[in-house]
């Protein structure tokens, strides 16, 4: 999706560079909901810290929501994916011999309602 690619390229990557200490890996969740779209980008720094930057826009709105004044983390379905990612990170990267390829190959198994 072009909107997600633009958000990552123009908003997220400069933040990743500015923050520093990046592990060079992360994940993006694109959630086209019933009233709007959420794009949440996550990246790992300092070996075990997860950073996040979120874009939210109602379909009926001209401008995206102010995620500073309305600090939404994620919906319940997105939280399940974030949890699966942190479990994969702990399992594959938080050990004496981290395995980036194992982290990238891990797939979430999330139940839906």
Whether residue 110 is contained in a domain is answered as no
Residue 113 has pLDDT above 70, yes or no: no
Strand partners, 52: 42
Q: Are 83 and 73 in contact (CB under 8 A)?
A: no
pLDDT digit string (tens) for 7-35? 999 999 999 999 889 999 999 999 999 99
Whether residue 43 is contained in a domain is answered as yes
pLDDT digit string (tens) for 48-88? 999 999 999 999 999 998 888 878 889 888 999 999 999 99
pLDDT digit string (tens) for 85-110? 999 999 999 999 999 999 999 988 87
pTM for the whole structure: 0.89
**Domain count across the chain:** 1
Whole-number Cα distances in Å, 106 to 71, 74, 79, 81: 29, 21, 17, 12
Q: Which domain range does residue 63 map to?
A: 2-105
């Amino acid at each position: 999706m072009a909107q997600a690619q633009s958000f990552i390229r123009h908003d997220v990557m400069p933040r990743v560079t500015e923050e520093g200490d990046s592990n060079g890996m992360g994940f993006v969740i694109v959630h086209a909901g019933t009233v709007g779209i959420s794009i949440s980008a996550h990246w790992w720094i300092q070996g075990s810290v997860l950073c996040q930057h979120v874009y939210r826009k109602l379909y009926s709105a001209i401008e995206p929501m102010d995620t500073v004044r309305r600090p939404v983390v994620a919906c319940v379905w997105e939280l399940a994916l974030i949890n699966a990612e942190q479990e994969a990170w702990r399992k594959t990267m938080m050990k004496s011999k981290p395995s980036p390829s194992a982290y990238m190959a891990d797939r979430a198994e999330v139940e839906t309602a």
